A and B are shown apart, each in its own frame.
Chain A
């Protein structure tokens, strides 16, 4: 199944056959003081710098979050989106739980965006899915509903199914629903990693839709987080994960994702791997 996102005539395809889709996560003011301060004043220079760095590092899609408490989120999200597009002509992912902010961004975006996200709660779906339909956007569906996050992979599959079915009710095809099986923290529950991995395999097998994950949550509270994050993504990719919201400027993540593409048959003649190796090996300018 192919999820096609676009910005003007630039198209990015999320699918099991194409290179793994990196959704750059850095444009998010949570716990990033300088970004938050500049954004709150309508200064998008740090936002633009983050956009450039992530594209350079291989991001195909950029997540844009403008949730700053006490600020006007619709205004900021729209402003950030416009600023990013000035320097980064590529598909964007609008990250907000506020439908007004999502709409403000969708209105000014010429192309097919990704909405991040709706849960399977009826009240959320009723607000977010019509927006996705109206603006022809794809949407990330997070597998949690009125009862919280299901404990088992089987129960999570059912929530994923509900998301796909409800989207269809609103006229959104399954290929435009990207399921997020939720990475929970193994530091709090050592089985949390496995339940998510099992869910990914099950959703892939039963629904065949594309899946994304905000992977770095998995290692919260533990030492050597990068190693855990990278291993987790690799295990998830083997089970059918086709996109991740992550930081491509972390060298370990960038390299591991390229290796996964090669090993999953998505890098013909290993050309991308070799090219990236040359780039890494080039001595830094003196």
Chain B
């Protein structure tokens, strides 16, 4: 199966066909990182573009990400074997007191789709848990908050990173409905990302 077909199946969110396509490509001897970059990541870039332009809706993004992950699971053993490095490691979570997970999940999926290694810390994540992730080598900490009442916990996490002496080692990217660029600057985060697709660009940007 050619890579363009896998690419189309990812955009259509057809997980079984993506898996079949990836398997076939591997059998034909196509390198795992070629499949990853030219089919899976390229397709998720296109999904992100369509979402940003209002052409795609949230469920379409979710099924595309699911299809991408189905393909990725087949590639992972080979990628590890051949020592292909992830684009970076990101630990992501919704801050303490906040249970909203949709935006955070979308960002996590889009980052995975862009070749990052993502550690999803879940929702209602205490500052200490973010600190621990930073200690374990995460290069980027992603925080989400959907409530005006919980967004201040982003600041607490930044303080906790500071107190643990880790602030200079990690980049912090934040997002969520009430969050703004001004707020990110005010609390001393490295960047603000307004949606899941631009989050990928933002994370690439802070690591560059």
Contact surface of A with B, Cβ cutoff 8 Å: 29-31, 65, 67-70, 96-98, 144, 148-149, 185, 187-188, 190, 220-223
Which chain B residues lie closer than 8 Å to A220 at the CB level?
58, 102
Which chain A residues lie closer than 8 Å to B57 at the CB level?
187, 221-223
Contact in complex: A67, B148 (CB < 8 Å): yes
The smallest C-beta distance from B144 to any residue of chain A, in angstroms, reads 14
Contact in complex: B149, A221 (CB < 8 Å): no
Interface residue SS majority, chain A: loop
Q: Considering only CB atoms, which chain B residue lies closest to A222 in the complex? A: B57
Q: Is B139 in the interface zone, CB < 8 Å from A?
A: no
Count of chain B residues with a beta carbon within 8 Å of a chain A beta carbon:
20
Interchain CA distance A29-B59 in the complex, whole Å: 28
Which chain A residues lie closer than 8 Å to B74 at the CB level?
none
Contact in complex: A67, B58 (CB < 8 Å): no
Please name the 10 residue pairs, one residue from A and one from B, whose CB atoms are nearest each other, closest first: A221-B58, A67-B148, A97-B149, A187-B58, A188-B102, A30-B178, A187-B59, A69-B151, A67-B149, A222-B57
- Chain B, 161-208, CB within 8 A of any chain A CB: 177-178, 183, 186
Contact in complex: B183, A185 (CB < 8 Å): no
The smallest C-beta distance from B120 to any residue of chain A, in angstroms, reads 15
Contact surface of B with A, Cβ cutoff 8 Å: 57-59, 62, 97, 99, 102, 105, 123-124, 147-152, 177-178, 183, 186
The smallest C-beta distance from B18 to any residue of chain A, in angstroms, reads 21
Contact in complex: A148, B152 (CB < 8 Å): no
The smallest C-beta distance from B187 to any residue of chain A, in angstroms, reads 9
A-B contact pairs, 13 of them (CB 8 A): A30-B178, A67-B147, A69-B151, A69-B152, A70-B183, A96-B149, A97-B149, A97-B150, A98-B149, A187-B57, A187-B62, A188-B102, A220-B58
Which chain A residues lie closer than 8 Å to B62 at the CB level?
187-188
Which chain A residues lie closer than 8 Å to B149 at the CB level?
67, 96-98
Q: Considering only CB atoms, which chain A residue lies closest to B179 in the complex? A: A69
Q: Considering only CB atoms, which chain A residue lies closest to B59 in the complex? A: A187
Contact in complex: A30, B186 (CB < 8 Å): no
Contact in complex: B59, A30 (CB < 8 Å): no
Q: Considering only CB atoms, which chain B residue lies closest to A223 in the complex? A: B57
Which chain B residues lie closer than 8 Å to A144 at the CB level?
99
Interchain CA distance A53-B186 in the complex, whole Å: 34
